[in-house]
Structure 1
Amino acid sequence: MHTPASRDVDVHTYGAGEARRIVDAAVAAGLHAIAITDHNTAGWCDEMAEAAQGTPLVVLPGVELSTAEGHLLAIWEEGTPAPFIEDVLVELGILRADHGDLHKALRTGFAETAKIVAARGGLAIAAHADREKGLLRMSVADHVNQTMLEPAIAAVEIVDIAEARRIRTRLDGKRELAVVRSSDTTASGASVHVLHGIGNRRTWIKASRPDLRGLRHALADPSLRIRLVEPAVPGHTVIESVKVTGGFLDRQQFEFSSDLNCLLGGTGAGKSLLIELVRFALDQQTDAGDFPHVRKEVESRLQYALTSGSTVEVVLTRGHARCIVRRAYFEDGATRPEYVGDTEQLTGLSGRIAITGFSQGEVIEYARTPVGRMALIDTAIDLTEFEIREADAVARLNDNGRLVSGIESKIAQAEQKLRTLPDVDKRLAELSGLFDDETVKMQASWSSEKALFDTLVGMPELKVAARPADGDKFRGPAAVAGNHDLYERARAVYTQANDAIDAANVQLSQVLVIVNKELTTIRQEWVDRCKQFDRQLAEAVSRIDVDNKGLSALRTRLIELQTEKAKLNTQQTQLNEELRPGLITAKEHREELISELLDARKARRRRRDDRIKALNKLMGGIVRIKMLPENGDSSYLAELSAIARGSRLRGPVLQQICEKSMPVKLVRSFLSGDIDGVCAATGVEHKHIETLFEHVTERGAVEDFLQLQTLDLQDGLSVEFRKHSNDGYVPIERLAHGQKCTAILIIALADGNDPLIIDQPEDALHAPWIEEYLVAKLRDLRGGRQYIFATRSPGLVVSADAEMIVTLTSDATNGAVEATGSLERHDLNVLAMYHLEGGPVPFKRRTIKLAASMS
């Protein structure tokens, strides 16, 4: 910006004659820093710096030089005295008497002048390059392009924002030159300098502080640190800070940026512990079922580094929403996170705040195991709906399996008993021929009734419901005195319910006494009548047996056979009218349940497939994921082998059945008795399938066999990696260890916008891959996700340009934050050099010895 020190500024039209008014105008415009660049003079630099004292505004002293080719901005660090800048002006050929003369041009052009400015500690920027006396207005295009390649020119200032794209096109990848915008203290559409033009055009830089060091750092990496339009508020979830109370990191607070954060420090300083504390607080720890060894190491680390009752507090934001999560540590793991603030806007359907986290060595486990790879795919999709549907279908199928197994058993028992029916009928026919009296024939009817009335012994005790036990919880005094009224109301409700239950049970008990008394009377009356009939029958038999042929004994046998016949008839009726139709209905219902189960699994597979397609688009062809047919031969074989134990069926036969058939179809064939269908599908001999089915029935393992249909044959997943675009894809199983981890990390980087937290992502990776894949991907994806890495990799910290570096140190008992900031801060730069390179001396040695490869 310009001040009245520039001779083309008219104080009357400018709007201010005092430095403080200019400072106030800049602060009011929302600026954090300004550079004083008057034409060929540093006249107001000291005055502006003094006026800014006590305000948040950073004032960088400088000058706008009139070179032989056009205007060039030269800016120095805050606090640089104006006389120093004036000496540089003299060195460039502008005598002190000519300071401030807009039309006094230097003998040197853009490039040479920029070199001199840089040599004197300044920063050179081509001023208003797309306007009069700007760099882009020079007539020789090749000379313009060569000038923009001069390293001493740190940036190009433009007025028209569309010019930025044209500059990138002209440079054609030869240099990533920063492009900035400034108001030049001119209002929109005006050509004169006016105070209200301050901030009309501005540049957003990403830096710890907007001083010259911060500006240099930003201009050196413009794609990540320079913006010509105001950056939007991050829309992704951000871990803003972590505070620890108790344990190894007691009273330490960690601040994070919304972008790339790197934790540095020596072994045992607490980097890995901090990663685990974040995961612990958010209840997002390593799955003990998937990776028990990793989880065991993490638990051991937490147990060693935390005292019982230690707390972790994590502050998270998403947009304008803010939430605090606290969790206390106890070795039994009984505590749950506590949420305060805008919880609903930050938690998902699981009720937890989603992050993607990897403990040390966990990336290797994901790369190594198929279950780990699928878990990585499932991380960012909600499968709750399908899990609920599947669990419900499985539970109902198991209930159905018990029903089918029970009916099958009853049918088998009934058929076994009914095998005696022909013999009973034959003997009855033989005996019945001896008795032709109508009274004797009535015996059959009385025998059939006997089975009915013998069981008429009364109803068992019945109750409406048991008294609820929950009411006892409120018998004592209220834990919180103010809640005494709620306790009283709860007691009253339970008392009302218990009284109603007791009254209903008493009434039912009274009715039951009357009913059972009446049933006993009915049974006794039938018994009396039956005895009367027996006397009549005995008399009738006596009249028939005039020759003393022993018909009385035969009558007793007739009664026995008629009673047996009645029972078998009842069994036959139950078999035909109840058991067999019930089995058909149960099997039909089972098919409906299987359809529900398969539909839920197909829907889950489609959800996974959609996610995989989205991931493939994000991974730029480096990694390719494909869904494969379901494969669960190992679990299928284990279950079938357990059921077939004792059948003498050999392992290869069972293996062939599992490879060639699906559990659903195999069990369906068993239920329908379709042995030939299984043989045709599997190629297994008829005798082996027959043996299997008979063994299931004879062993009473029908229910276990039916449960095979609920077996979840896991979705198959193919992960492939290629080093370069012209290479072919290689399955992850054939990759080297480091390539496997690289593939998994690329998937993780492309995976959604939840915070990505990794402990030492560079483990097992070849150094060039860190730069080629991880660093390149991190730079491409910046701005849409937060990353927190505990690392020793210079590539991730320096090349990927970490916004926030946290270095940790420790003594024998405690770890502590050593420093926080980014590389443009001298203290962080020194510490990063030490932690990443071992210090200046080893870094210099490597630089000297490897410098030949840079030329």
Structure 2
Amino acid sequence: MPADKNLRQVLAQPSGARFYRCALQVNPCAYLKRHSKPLPCADEAEYNRLVVEACKASDVEVIGVTDHYRIRESVSLIQAAEAAGLAVLPGFEAETKDGVHFLCLFEPGTEPDQIEAKIHDCGVHSDNEPSPSGKYDCEELLAEAARWGVMCIAAHVTTEKGLLRVLKGQTRARVWRHGSLIACSIPGHTEDTPQEFRDILVNKDVNHRRNRMLAVINAQDISSPADVAKLGAITLIKMSKVGVEGLRQGFIDPATRVRLIGHPEATPHSALLYIGWQGGFLDGSELRLNGNVNVLIGGRGAGKSTLVESVRYALGLSPLGPDAQKNHTGIVQQALRSATRIRLLLRSHRPAEKHYWIERTIPNPPVVKDETGNVLNVRPQDILPGIEIYGQHEIAELARSPEKLTGLLRRFREGDPALENRKSEIRRRLETSRIRILEIRKEIGLVDEKLAGLPALQETLKRFQEAGLESKLKSQTLLVREEKIVATLRDRLLPFQELMAQWRDSLPIDRQFLSTAALDGLPGAAILQRGDAVLEKFNTEAEAALKAMARAIEEAQAGIGRIEHEWQKRKEASTAEIEHILREVQKTVSRLDASEFVRLRKQIEDLQPLSGRRHTLVNGLEAAFQERNSLLLEWEEAKAEFARSLERAAKKVTKKLAGVVRVNVAPGGQRDPLFALLRDEVGGQLQATIERLSGRVDFSLPEFVSACRGGTARLVESFGLTQTQSDRIAKATEETFLKMEELEFPTPTGLQLNLAGEGQPPIWQDLENLSTGQKATAVLLLLLLESEAPLIVDQPEDDLDNRFITEGIVPKIREEKERRQFIFATHNANIPVLGDAELVATLKPDGAGHAAIPPEELGSIDCAAVRDNIGEVLEGGREAFEIRRLKYGY
């Protein structure tokens, strides 16, 4: 078994397309000498070294070396740059016979002889002129460059010798719209160019409008080390492999693959960076993932679903619906199998970027480790909260549940971020309150049950008193009272003994969170460290107080013991006298049982303190209800605040998906929890009641509970229920009403999808009236919005059609991809092609119960192997094939 790769090894693996900082117009030292420009150093070698160092200092990774119709004098600079680890696109700057400059860039490693042959082809055979002109005009040069397989960029188009400056009228428009011209360079940002050129650059000028907007890059002349850091010298271009094809793909799709310095950069976000398997269907396979759009392709049975469910299993996440759960369980049992080990690498960016390993061996729970492999006491969900994973058809299953749809709105909520925690805390306190109230009511019932016999006992005592027995047995009566007092002495210590036990369990307070290791790296560690001394002092003093309390209780118990011992002697001395009195009384009052009187007096003495206890309990019950009423007000306000936040979220999503999806919520509209409680606690024929309560628009739960406590007549009057059902509900227990008060009604979410074509008046259709594919489209559009956590979807096209993918889904993927990671398993070409996937991974089964992910076939569509796989494996709509024609040349 191969050793696990460490963090450095994994991060060093290729992960598809990424942005490279490119300086595509670097001049050699000879250019400066030829044009009498000031030299920044003594000789060519020093110039090369300084320029390369300046590139490295500015994080430039790719340069184009483009002297005017020359290559031989660029060789030393090319070699110096390559030796320093830079990728070099060799080439030359051409000037057409109509006076326009173009950059011609060749594949890295192209021999100077090959490039020189193209220079000769342009009609330039001599180095005598500083800046010669070629034999081709603009259109001819563009056509030749396409035939050569090189990248031809219109250089500094808004300045001297630039296409837009030199050419005029129809000639300029024709060249600008030429099919082989896909990129131009300007000195800075488009918004800073002269107004006469700005509309042309942004493709708004009617005479120059192109089917696909030209890529606008920065590639100003670099003729000294200082030029590298100047605005306009560097462009970020996204490629998976540096080369002409990488540039071509970037320029064809500049919206996602070209970024000028100073333009907004990608938003930091969490991501799944790596997955590897030991055992199971994908044994020995691994995949380094991209932080943006990843697409898994392959024929049926290649393992795409296995990969998706592997991630879900490793993170310990459960599918949302029963069908998805069944599919997940089947894949884990049959494809992954017992003893298979799955290893993930996650990147979390809050509060600072950090990496975590997640390892899970079937069927054991997941284990979280830090970057160096130390086991952490956290869950995967704590590391990557909010990650969403949907298996095959799971989105369609989700669309059938209005309550689960509401869960999708939660991440769009604004306001108090702790509201849900506050709701949970209030719910917990209400439950505690209910238990306390029911305990008090139960104790009051027990006390009342005992006190119910007191009047009869007192009446019997009265007859004894009328017979004169009490005066004769006064000493016995007083002895009974004393005995009760002695017994009460120990009872009074019980609460303190219980409190002592609680204190012992809580001490000493754990101070590990204030240790030097725990505070390491915190700017305020010196301040926080003082808390350790505070808690240490508290522990010492609390332990001392605990010991003092223990001594006090021990001394009190000893004192009570002495009192009990002394009183017991008194009782024994009095017993003989009392027994003599009882015998005398029995002789004189033969019709009365003196011993019965003694027992009666003892019973009454035992019961009389219960009256005080009942009074205390009643007061406690009243206080408990008052506290609960305050909690209920908090509860109702928290629920209302949460509902308002969902309504705001629905409006926010509707605005973001304007003209495509509308979202609405119905707070309190789903009352099933109440109906379930009535069925369980009340029973009977409830259908009419449920229909009545369901149809009530202004239903108030507190008002309904109050009516239940108010009795049958109030339920009939206020809610229009039948006499029989009202009577049954009104007779429910107080526990039922308390539970009823604590209910929270789910807020169902409704979606509407616009079925009209582009440019047509909207046709809004409710979710329940849509086809399965249309439902899935509406839900997927919600899933694609605003989240920092990854979204993983297995074959979304199974429930979608191509029009909705191209018009709705793909634009959202492109819009969000710099802010969020996406992983799609698919058979549809629209997603990797139109969505411009940064990484396409092909899974291939070997026919023997195993599949692999060939590393040589990983990359973006600028890789030939990836393009071949997309063409062979995937199916797509007309637009996908059209863009493939542009991207693949067929």
**TM-score interval for Structure 1 and Structure 2 normalised by the shorter chain:** 0.7 to 0.9
Q: Which amino acid is 2:726 matched to? A: I
Q: Which amino acid is 1:244 matched to? A: W
Matching residue of 2:162: 134
Residue 672 of structure 2 contacts residue 745 of structure 2 at CA under 8 Å; is this kept in 1?
no
Matching residue of 2:238: 206
Query: Residue 784 of structure 1 aligns to a residue in which SS?
Result: coil
Query: Alignment RMSD, CA only?
Result: 4.8
2:48 pairs with one of 22, 33, 44: 22
Matching residue of 1:400: 436
Pick closer, same or farther for the CA change 1:268–1:650 going to 2, 3 Å: closer
Residue 390 of structure 2 contacts residue 794 of structure 2 at CA under 8 Å; is this kept in 1?
yes
Matched, 1:389 2:425: yes
Using the alignment, how far apart are the partners of 1:530 and 1:214 within structure 2?
Answer: 113
Using the alignment, how far apart are the partners of 2:477 and 2:707 within structure 1?
Answer: 40
Matching residue of 1:814: 850
- How far apart are residue 223 of structure 1 and its match? 0.9
Using the alignment, how far apart are the partners of 2:832 and 2:753 within structure 1?
Answer: 25
Using the alignment, how far apart are the partners of 2:475 and 2:380 within structure 1?
Answer: 67
- How far apart are residue 74 of structure 1 and its match? 2.8
- How far apart are residue 48 of structure 1 and its match? 5.5
Matching residue of 1:622: 660
Matched, 1:144 2:175: no
Q: Which amino acid is 1:62 matched to? A: F
Deviates more, 1:783-792 or 1:502-511: 502-511
Matching residue of 2:212: 175
Matched, 1:792 2:822: no
Q: Which amino acid is 1:35 matched to? A: G
Query: Residue 383 of structure 2 aligns to a residue in which SS?
Result: coil
Using the alignment, how far apart are the partners of 1:800 and 1:150 within structure 2?
Answer: 25
Pick closer, same or farther for the CA change 1:87–1:341 going to 2, 3 Å: closer
Query: Residue 153 of structure 1 aligns to a residue in which SS?
Result: coil
Matching residue of 1:250: 283
**TM-score (norm: length of structure 2):** 0.75
1:184 pairs with one of 202, 210, 221: 221
Q: Which amino acid is 1:692 matched to? A: I
Using the alignment, how far apart are the partners of 2:790 and 2:466 within structure 1?
Answer: 95
2:770 pairs with one of 703, 714, 735: 735
Q: Which amino acid is 1:207 matched to? A: M
Q: How does 1:427-438 map to 2 (within 5 A)?
A: none
What is the total number of aligned residue pairs between the two structures?
A: 787
Pick closer, same or farther for the CA change 1:511–1:263 going to 2, 3 Å: farther
Residue 95 of structure 2 contacts residue 133 of structure 2 at CA under 8 Å; is this kept in 1?
no
Residue 346 of structure 1 contacts residue 353 of structure 1 at CA under 8 Å; is this kept in 2?
no
Matching residue of 1:62: 92
Residue 440 of structure 2 contacts residue 617 of structure 2 at CA under 8 Å; is this kept in 1?
no
Q: How does 1:764-783 map to 2 (within 5 A)?
A: 764-783=799-818
Q: How does 1:379-458 map to 2 (within 5 A)?
A: 385-403=421-439, 405-406=441-442, 409-410=445-446, 413=449, 439=468, 442=471, 458=487
Using the alignment, how far apart are the partners of 1:670 and 1:732 within structure 2?
Answer: 37
2:788 pairs with one of 739, 753, 760: 753
Q: Deviations over 1:604-625 (max 9, x none)?
A: 4445445445444433452233
Pick closer, same or farther for the CA change 1:790–1:436 going to 2, 3 Å: closer
Residue 358 of structure 2 contacts residue 369 of structure 2 at CA under 8 Å; is this kept in 1?
yes
Residue 324 of structure 2 contacts residue 393 of structure 2 at CA under 8 Å; is this kept in 1?
yes
Matching residue of 2:22: none
- How far apart are residue 323 of structure 1 and its match? 1.3
Using the alignment, how far apart are the partners of 2:324 and 2:565 within structure 1?
Answer: 69
Matching residue of 1:310: 341
Pick closer, same or farther for the CA change 1:444–1:505 going to 2, 3 Å: closer
Q: Deviations over 1:147-198 (max 9, x none)?
A: 3221111211111422385410435674311111112234xxxxxxx56535
Pick closer, same or farther for the CA change 1:412–1:764 going to 2, 3 Å: farther
- How far apart are residue 824 of structure 1 and its match? 0.8
Q: How does 1:447-596 map to 2 (within 5 A)?
A: 458=487, 514=562, 516-517=564-565, 553=591, 570=608, 573=611, 577-578=615-616, 580-596=618-634
Using the alignment, how far apart are the partners of 2:563 and 2:282 within structure 1?
Answer: 75
Q: Which amino acid is 1:122 matched to? A: V
Matching residue of 1:824: 862
Residue 237 of structure 1 contacts residue 316 of structure 1 at CA under 8 Å; is this kept in 2?
yes
Q: Which amino acid is 2:139 matched to? A: A
Using the alignment, how far apart are the partners of 2:361 and 2:375 within structure 1?
Answer: 24
Q: How does 1:331-342 map to 2 (within 5 A)?
A: 331=363, 333-340=364-371
Deviates more, 1:154-163 or 1:76-85: 76-85
Residue 386 of structure 1 contacts residue 601 of structure 1 at CA under 8 Å; is this kept in 2?
no
- How far apart are residue 368 of structure 1 and its match? 1.5
Residue 298 of structure 2 contacts residue 873 of structure 2 at CA under 8 Å; is this kept in 1?
yes
Deviates more, 1:210-219 or 1:194-203: 194-203
1:38 pairs with one of 50, 56, 67: 67
Using the alignment, how far apart are the partners of 2:690 and 2:606 within structure 1?
Answer: 41
Q: Deviations over 1:82-140 (max 9, x none)?
A: 55555555555x352488563536463x2343223223323322221111121121463
Matching residue of 1:547: none
Pick closer, same or farther for the CA change 1:280–1:767 going to 2, 3 Å: same
2:740 pairs with one of 688, 708, 726: 708
Q: Deviations over 1:382-406 (max 9, x none)?
A: 6652354134223313313423541
- How far apart are residue 317 of structure 1 and its match? 5.2
Q: How does 1:620-699 map to 2 (within 5 A)?
A: 620-645=658-683, 651-653=687-689, 656=692, 663-671=701-709, 673-686=710-723, 688-694=725-731, 696=732
1:115 pairs with one of 122, 143, 159: 143
Over the matched positions of the two proteins, sequence identity in percent amounts to 21
Pick closer, same or farther for the CA change 1:385–1:348 going to 2, 3 Å: farther
Pick closer, same or farther for the CA change 1:728–1:113 going to 2, 3 Å: same
Q: Deviations over 1:451-472 (max 9, x none)?
A: 867867956897667799999x
Pick closer, same or farther for the CA change 1:105–1:692 going to 2, 3 Å: closer
Query: Residue 797 of structure 2 aligns to a residue in which SS?
Result: coil
Matching residue of 1:228: 260
Pick closer, same or farther for the CA change 1:587–1:417 going to 2, 3 Å: farther
Structure index of larger Rg: 1
Using the alignment, how far apart are the partners of 2:437 and 2:380 within structure 1?
Answer: 33
Using the alignment, how far apart are the partners of 1:792 and 1:820 within structure 2?
Answer: 17
Using the alignment, how far apart are the partners of 2:109 and 2:823 within structure 1?
Answer: 35
Pick closer, same or farther for the CA change 1:133–1:347 going to 2, 3 Å: farther
Pick closer, same or farther for the CA change 1:241–1:733 going to 2, 3 Å: same
Pick closer, same or farther for the CA change 1:828–1:599 going to 2, 3 Å: same
Residue 69 of structure 2 contacts residue 92 of structure 2 at CA under 8 Å; is this kept in 1?
no
Q: Deviations over 1:553-607 (max 9, x none)?
A: 4798996999699689949945973454444333323322323433443444445
- How far apart are residue 825 of structure 1 and its match? 1.1
- How far apart are residue 378 of structure 1 and its match? 3.3
Matching residue of 1:74: 104
Which one scores higher on RCO, CA 8 angstroms, separation ≥ 6? 2
Matching residue of 1:478: none
